[in-house]
Amino acid sequence: MELTVLGSSGGCAAPGNPASGYLVTHEDTVIWCDAGPGTFMALMDHLDPADIDAVVVSHVHTDHCADLVAFYGYMAYGPSGVIPVPVFHPQGAVDPIASFVRAEAEHLFFMTLDFNQVDAGDTVRVGSMELSFALTNHPVPTLATKFTAEGRSLAYSADTGPGGGFPELALGADVVLCEATGVGPRGPQSDEYHLNAGEAGVLGAKSGAALIVTHVSPTVDSALVISEAAATYGSDPLLALPGLSIRI
Ligand SMILES: [Zn+2]
């Protein structure tokens, strides 16, 4: 498998860095995981959008899903013609996204995007990859996803606070792509729905995986994120930045 970072900026796109979005590929299978603002444009540097076999939308916070509307426009009216693309999503995700184009039944939107709700514990196969899901600790239904092919695996946290289903999903993964939105120790003012860098490091260490930290807020110094994550992980993690591509 290969992971390519399209964007990693936490909460919103930042100069030179789209919001959350990744390509996960294995052989001819291509999955676009999270469609944050700027990621659709970024992915066209890597492939023809018509080659996407499936999209995973972790949740309906706009920094993870807004470019699904851009993708719809391209697939509905672009050169490829309409090819229904499976979109795996958590409960409650379709109506908010469809409302951007006022899509009702029979709308081209639903012929272009083939929405498939998945829940914790579900497993689906896309081409040569298997995807399994857990629900995270976040204020809207949010899917963490584990991608597996040829016995290798990548676990992606999406957005999560401490707890939830991600720590168990990540156990034994070869690579953990984990959000590290903030820095500093957890205290009464900490965001209960996001991890700080030290917590991401703990999660990486417990899972026994190579750690990549992502979803760093643009207001936070990424060097501090690396050093705080390293203190609990045991060594420097990788920082997800656009264009980073690693084999798993
Ligand atoms: Zn979120």
Dist. CA 65 → ligand 1 center (Å) = 10
Per the structure, the count of domains in the chain is 1
Dist. CA 154 → ligand 1 center (Å) = 20
CATH number for the domain that contains residue 201:
3.60.15.10
Dist. CA 82 → ligand 1 center (Å) = 30
Dist. CA 160 → ligand 1 center (Å) = 8
Dist. CA 138 → ligand 1 center (Å) = 7
Q: Give me the sign of the Cα torsion angle 9, 15, 21, 24.
A: negative
Dist. CA 193 → ligand 1 center (Å) = 8
Instruction: Give strand pairing partners of 116.
Output: 88
**Is residue 8 within 8 Å of 240, Cβ to Cβ?**
yes
Dist. CA 93 → ligand 1 center (Å) = 12
b (16+ CB within 10 A) / e for 181-204: bbbeeeeeebeebbbbbbbbbbbb
Query: pLDDT value at position 220?
Result: 95
Dist. CA 217 → ligand 1 center (Å) = 12
Query: pLDDT value at position 78?
Result: 86
The two tokens of residue 81 are 């013609």
Dist. CA 27 → ligand 1 center (Å) = 30
Question: What is the crossing angle of helices 197-207 and 222-233, to 10°?
Answer: 40
DSSP structure string for the chain: -EEEEEE-BSSS-BTTB-SSEEEEEETTEEEEE---TTHHHHHTTTS-GGG--EEE---SSHHHHTHHHHHHHHHHHSTT----EEEEE-TT-HHHHHGGGT--TT-HHHHHEEEEE--TT-EEEETTEEEEEEE-SSSS--EEEEEEETTEEEEE--S--SSSSHHHHHTT-SEEEEE--B-S---TTS-TTS-BHHHHHHHHHHHTSEEEEE-B-TTS-HHHHHHHHHHHHSSPPEE--TT-EEE-
Dist. CA 168 → ligand 1 center (Å) = 20
- Rounded Cα distance, 164 and 158, in Å: 12
Q: Which domain holds residue 213?
A: 2-247
Dist. CA 129 → ligand 1 center (Å) = 25
pTM: 0.96
Dist. CA 58 → ligand 1 center (Å) = 9
Dist. CA 61 → ligand 1 center (Å) = 5
Dist. CA 59 → ligand 1 center (Å) = 7
- Rounded Cα distance, 179 and 159, in Å: 6
Per-residue pLDDT 10s for the chain (248 aa) are 999 999 999 999 999 999 999 999 999 999 999 999 999 999 999 999 999 999 999 999 999 999 999 999 999 998 888 889 999 999 999 999 999 989 888 899 999 999 999 999 999 999 999 999 999 999 999 999 999 999 999 999 999 999 999 999 999 999 999 999 999 999 988 899 999 999 999 999 999 999 999 999 999 999 999 999 999 999 999 999 999 999 99
Dist. CA 200 → ligand 1 center (Å) = 16
